[in-house]
Structure 1
Amino acid sequence: MIGTRTIQALSLGLVLVAIAGFGALALAQEPPLSAINEREKAVNALQGRNRSQLARLLTVLVRFRRDPPPPLLVRPNDAVDAARAAILVKAITPELQRRARIYSGEAQEIARQRRLAAVANEAGFTEDSQAADDEDNGPVATVATITGETSQFELVAPKRLLPPLDGKVLHGFGDDLSAGGKSNGLTLATQARTSVYAPAKGLVQFAGPVKGWGVVVILRLTGGYHLVLAGLEGSSANPGEDVFPGAKIGWMPDGGEGPPQLYLEVRAGETPVNPSPLLKSPSG
């Protein structure tokens, strides 16, 4: 361990951190997120230049439409130049619009990878999470401690899970991820500001923001399984609180970076479990 706040990663990327006797936190590895951040900066720069070019074209078109020169005062050479300019604007505009669509798609992919980077790779966030900052002297539950606690009794799988929201499955359990590795859970695309509900009865072990994940909620289910929901905008759940199936525990972002995506993962100790058979019927 490095210092008192080092987080040891589980074999496939999920770490549960004890916070004030309850806490648990899913964390991700910094290097993949650093690479995603660099890619995001590059795309943002390209988007900015593209927007500037579109803005200049729009200014020219608006000015020409608002205050066109009187036909009788236009010299032949000016008329030719104006025609050439109109042709050039007409030729350039579709290309700039095409770039805008490409950059928008890149931005959505970056947003998706940011939420999945932690689970797609082996590791955990270290001191970047707000939860760790809030507990400067708090104990960190190592992997051995967590698995030791859960191995002292027989884990019982939930019989079923309610869909946490109405959404379309983008990535299923075991799917290949563009960032590398396999998905340990489900990724659901949904509408902006959609409410998120507890899929099962459980104890809230963590509810709060985690860098790269948005707001994360971790439930310890009745049979000892853990359920992780990541990518929320906010949560109304509190650590140490019991929640019941169908209880509202949070809401999704406004969709400024593309359709909001919720990540759902279920674990039996260190082992990720396919949640699809347990769900009643998520739409899509």
Structure 2
Amino acid sequence: MMRRSGLLLCACAIGLAGPVTTARGQDAPGVPPAPAPFAPAPGAQGAARPPLRVPLPPASPVRRGLDTDALKADVRGSAEFQKRIAAELDAAKGDRAKLNTLLLETADRSRAVELQLIDVEGRIGALDLSAAQLSASLAKRRDVLAEVLAALLRMGRNPPPALLMRPDDALDAVRSAILLGALLPELRVEAETLAADLSDLVRVRGELTAARESLGQLRTALDQDKKRLAALVGERQRRQAEAHPLPQGEKAQVDSVAKTSTDVHDLVTRMESEAPPAARAADAARAAPSPSAAAKSDLAALQNPARIAPAVPFIEAKGLLPLPVAGVRVRDFGAPDDVGAAAKGLSIATRAGAQVTAPADGWVVYAGPFRSYGQLLIINAGDGYHILMAGMEKITVDLGQFVLAGEPVGIMGGLARMSPAAAGAAPVGGAPIGGLPLGTASGQPQLYVEFRKDGNSIDPAPWWAATDSRKVRG
């Protein structure tokens, strides 16, 4: 009776566990073994199935040589761009205020684009790292992924049938069911984890594609702004040379003073007393309004691009000055350097070729190479204040020239160029630029900015505009 009644069991997921075997290691009678994936069909006597052939779409014709249409479009676009620049220069002909307005607007727009580039490049670096980590994680679990996919595939191809077992095979069947019951939850967890990782990888790659498209557009805009700035700066310096030519004798005197000065303080003192162009600039700075003669609330002069003297005394410009370059600070004023001494200025890591602007209105009392500082620019802001900037590859203003706050004065190089005060600066915060770590090892150019009052270094932090101060300090 017991033998005839038998025990009806359901072997769940036969495709996953394979055929149910008895304790003697033989297949259960009446239970056909599950065919392995891609096995020969019964009766084929081991002959391999013909390979699956998927029709491929017709290959698109390969273009050989240059894309003449694209080249012609680029040439037309470049010609139109040059015409627009020429029209802008012609409109500003003989109008100093118009030329200064174009310079300030283009420099400000270029700086904003550089800040966006820094953000996008940093985001691309983070996304690249995330994609690499996800890919590495999936590669390490390649075997698990293959097992999970194979199991799911077999379960889909071989639905679990209800099988009638003999009583003497009941124990093996129960053991198989228990094993499957323990494996299926783990299989589900692995499948969900892998699906989540694959979904994250697809999302990251999509964000990378969008970020790279944005990067290309920003670089195109920045390239156009650089070309426009180069044309405007060239016109400005041409007018400066016509209005205030520097005699050869005075230039030789300036070079002699620079070569024989022992330090920056000595350089400034001697330039403003021995070099005629710098002396004239110092005289103009001393004639500028003093703090007591100016009203703090009268800032309308800052909107006048034709001014030839500081709009407000330097001491009254606290909280108003723009940063001279778009970048990330690597060392603040007073921070210890490699030998334990306090930094006398602020160091900012920038993108290669970044545009440098004047932090404040003032007169150029030195512009050129000086000892280990490299290219050094010194601006007399009046009332005993001087602004030093070093680390540029090229200075685009001349000795004795009056510059406005935000006006282009130099260009950063492609390699790390730092003053001794900024040399060896290690990262102290902020995001990387272009996906690279900040500091001397990364090769990022760095601009060194120092404020001085009567020859003594002072903290520039109170002078920066609120938004720029937050950017510098992270």
> TM-score category by the smaller chain?
0.3 to 0.5
Structure with a larger share of its residues in helix? 2
Q: Which has the higher contact order (CA 8 A, sep 6+)?
A: 1
Structure with bigger gyration radius? 2
**What TM-score do you get using the length of structure 1 for normalisation?**
0.47
Structure with a larger share of its residues in strand? 1
